[in-house]
Amino acid sequence: MKQKTITQSLSWLHTWSGLLFGWVLFAIFLTGTLAVFDKEIDNWLRPEIPAHSLDSREAAQTALDYLQARHPHARTWNIGLPNERAPTLSVSTGEQRRGGGQALDPETGELLQVRETAGGGFFFRFHFTLNLPRLLGIWVVGLAAMAMLAALVSGIVIHKKFFKEFFTFRPAKGQRSWLDAHNATGVLVLPFHLMITYTGLVIFYLIYMPAASDALFGGDREALNRALRGMPEQHAGQGRQPPQEVAGPAPLTALPPLLAEAERVLGPLASLSIHNPGRGDARIEVRPLLGNRIELTKGQSMVFDGVTGKVLRAPAESRPSLLTQRVLAGMHFAQFGGYPMRWLYFVCGLASCAMIATGLVLFTVKRRRRHDGEGALGAALYTGAERINVSVVAGLALACVGLLWANRLLPFELAQRGGWEVRVFFLIWLATLLHACLRPWLRAWQEQLGLTAALCLGLPLLNVVTVNRGDYIPLEVTILVIGGLLAACAWKIGQPAPERALRVRTEVN
Amino acid sequence: MRRERGATRPQGLQTVNLSWPMLSRIVAAVLGGYAFTYAFTAALARLLPLQPADALIVATVLSFAVYTGAILWAFACRSATRAWAGLALGVPLALIGFWPQLLERLG
């Protein structure tokens, strides 16, 4: 360490944080890229839900009629509304708000028999928890995000000449091509890499860095939340009536005008809850879709009196500092800007994946010919890294498309079906690791990429054969394109020419 | 540019020789860096001439850039000792950030 230059030390940091966290980061970035289209994937996973042309107000009325007929005594009714991205109308009773609920046919108002599935939300949850217990997962992902930031900034310092190198691409030259590809994907969307990593950390900023909250508020979240909302103390519990005051029966106000007013203030609506329906103290809480504005509006709502229809609480405007944090978080969530923005995030996300994957491959390609120079430990390490690379990059892609296949192939009535889909996902991923260890290195790449390509290309066919319903043309075209690209990769690996330089060296070794 | 990629640089790629100074730097970067950032964020939130809630958000949102800087510092400076010395600046920062709590503790 004595005579190392700054570039060398930072290069060490870049290489090792990049390798050790690169595996986790690839998984985070790939599932995050898929989560850009989580609702669209979710629609594919629930083919029983029909497309319809009802607007959200008509659908809400259908759901309300159903709840009034079937659950007249429930304390709370929850209705999830269909929107541009998802046709699902769902109902539930009680306090539960997230996901859940039973799907309702918006036309007939009857319950739908929908297959149980992990849903598109699986990729979203995996993206920020890695399917670990929530808080542990958030910390692991946060640590990986910090490693990504450190690797990005040290990468910029190492490649000081990177704007010049950006225009350099020497294809089919083994290691150099990998380096060029890594630099190109790194530089091309560098602002995106930095933005998405930093804003990802900002979402859970108080979990990761509670210092200021500890210093100024003694770690008291309640006090902090009041201060953030700029509210005096007595307003904190507004919207809840004291429970002892039992109100008499009273009819519910008409929903459509109330929803129209909410839509005027909030923009398109996501869901509503009706507390104490049919009583004098009924409250209707309406929540907007995320993405009506850049600001992440999670948790915002508008509350109406359920009898008179008067507005009891309009959503508060965030103070400038909080708005800054929420806009940063919103930039990560990419709910604003509609489909053009989603596609931009999707393509940039794929570029991030490509940068991480080429970096991982570059690590092993660079060291391939030096195994013997570093003793048994070094050789074992690099061989291990090569195998894990295959499983993390190609194997994860296989597991993701495998989950879609499991959704169609598992028996409809299987208990815990959603859990089994997730199990299939992890079993496939584990199998790819075994496969990568047993097969020759390049063959393992080729076979796993080839199988992934085959599953992607076969997916539209599978849909036709198993359920034959639903209109998934955008998703299916996308997955066919991805399948085609993967097939091209697999074919390319099988060709001797591009890898000749590498092969010769391997044989010498 | 060429030099970095040349085949005649085995030394730079000898990466398995994890030495004690290197281990010390890693710990300095990950744990020392976090402790420094924690202290820095608390001090910044205390010193910013804003309302507490605003100061908290500004300081916390910036903290990830500070942590990144601390990690890079731990690797970029000349020796592991210097890396730790720099991060020790966190101690006075922590005193600034938590002085009311400290005064309370001391009576």
From residue B85, how far is each of A56, B27, B79 by CA, in Å? 61, 13, 10
Burial class (CB in 10 A: 0-12, 13-18, 19+), B10: exposed
Global ipTM? 0.86
Q: Give residue A177's pLDDT.
A: 80
User: Considering the domain boundaries, does residue A398 fall inside one?
Assistant: yes
**pLDDT tens column, A290-347:** 888 888 888 788 999 989 989 998 888 888 899 999 999 999 999 998 999 999 999 9
Mark whether A149 and A85 lie in a shared domain: no
* Cα–Cα nearest to B1, from A445, A389, A166: A166
Q: Which residues, listed in sequence order, are joined to residue A313 by a DSSP beta bridge? A: A303
**pLDDT tens column, A52-84:** 878 888 899 999 999 999 988 888 999 999 988
Most confident of A299-303, A371-375, B9-13, B30-34: B30-34
Mark whether A87 and A127 lie in a shared domain: no
Domain boundary among A288, A318, A348: A318
Q: Give residue A166's pLDDT.
A: 60
The two tokens of residue A474 are 């955008």
User: Considering the domain boundaries, does residue A79 fall inside one?
Assistant: yes
Interface residue B79 vs chain A (CB under 8 A): yes
Q: Which domain holds residue A62?
A: 53-114+236-318
Q: Which residues, listed in sequence order, are joined to residue A90 by a DSSP beta bridge? A: A80, A103
Number of residues that make up chain A: 509
Query: Strand (E) positions, chain B?
Result: none
CA distance A67 to A100: 16
What value does the mean pLDDT take over residues B46-72? 95
Q: Which of B22, B37, B46 sits opposite A216 (nearest CB)?
A: B46
Q: Give residue B5's pLDDT.
A: 40
Instruction: Determine how many CB atoms are found less than 10 A away from the CB of residue B17.
Output: 9
Burial class (CB in 10 A: 0-12, 13-18, 19+), B59: buried
Position of tokens 């009706």?
A274
* Cα–Cα nearest to A459, from A391, A393, A409: A409
Nearest CA in chain A to B75: A9
The ranges assigned to domains in chain B are: 20-106
Type and span of the H or E element at A262:
helix A255-266
The two tokens of residue A334 are 């990419």
Q: Give residue A149's pLDDT.
A: 95
Q: Give residue A214's pLDDT.
A: 92
The per-residue pLDDT of chain B, averaged, comes to 84
Q: Total structural domains in chain A? A: 2
User: Considering the domain boundaries, does residue A326 fall inside one?
Assistant: no
Q: Give residue A163's pLDDT.
A: 59
What value does the mean pLDDT take over residues B17-39? 89
Using a CB-CB cut-off of 8 Å, the residues of chain B touching A153 are 68, 72
Mark whether A72 and A179 lie in a shared domain: no
Q: Do B14 and A320 touch (CB under 8 A)?
A: no
Type and span of the H or E element at A258:
helix A255-266
Using a CB-CB cut-off of 8 Å, the residues of chain B touching A150 are 29, 68, 71-72
State the DSSP code for A116: -
Q: Give residue B17's pLDDT.
A: 58
Nearest CA in chain A to B97: A215
User: Considering the domain boundaries, does residue A423 fall inside one?
Assistant: yes
Using DSSP, state whether A303 is helix, strand or coil: strand
Mark whether A31 and A67 lie in a shared domain: no
CA distance A158 to A183: 11
Type and span of the H or E element at A179:
helix A175-188
Interface residue B48 vs chain A (CB under 8 A): no
Mark whether A264 and A366 lie in a shared domain: no
The parts of chain A modelled with pLDDT lower than 70 are 1-4, 96-100, 160-173, 231-246, 369-374, 496-509
State the DSSP code for B30: I
